[in-house]
Amino acid sequence: MNTVMERDMELRLVLSPERSIPVPARLSYRANDPYAVHIEFHIGSEFPVHWTFARDLLVEGVFRPCGHGDVRIWPTKVEQRNVVFVALTSPDGNALLEMPSAAVAAWVERTLRVVPPGTESDRLNIDEALAELLAPLPADDLWLSDPWQSDESQDGDA
């Protein structure tokens, strides 16, 4: 069964220490893609911006700083509010997003109940996928047969 968990929330895009703007976003988790979380940002353009990263980063980032490179996450306080910062880096630019800590933590906890840590690989059906990938196809008979039939005549014939 493919369980999908989504949560719409308003994030804040931090422009400077004094200024941020609201950004509607949707967090998604799919049990058949158990290692990843997806965030879709609706920034007023024709198409939303999508980011995918490891669920473990978000799980850990609710409690302590983690990540490096393209995705970094850490908890902090802003004006007496508990928040989680997510720093995203791409060739197109950088973004620092502020997420409400309680809402993110509750959503992450729900994903952990659906697919507990350490059981993610059970959801991938790797054996079935490999069997399907490696299963012979009817066209494979063409490759397995000898395309150059021997045209040598046997001795004594002619």
Model pLDDT, residue 131: 74
48 closest CA partner among 82, 8, 15: 8
Q: Which two tokens stand for residue 57?
A: 């980063």
- Residue matched to tokens 């350490």: 118
- Please identify every stretch of the chain with a pLDDT value under 70, giving residue numbers as ranges: 1, 123-127, 129, 139-158
pLDDT by residue (tens digit) across 34-75? 999 999 998 777 888 899 999 999 999 999 999 988 999 999
pTM, two decimals, is 0.74
* Neighbouring residues of 113: CB distance < 8 A, sequence distance ≥ 6: none
Residue ranges of E strands in 17-125: 19-30, 36-41, 49-54, 66-68, 71-78, 81-90, 93-100
Say which DSSP state 63 is in. T
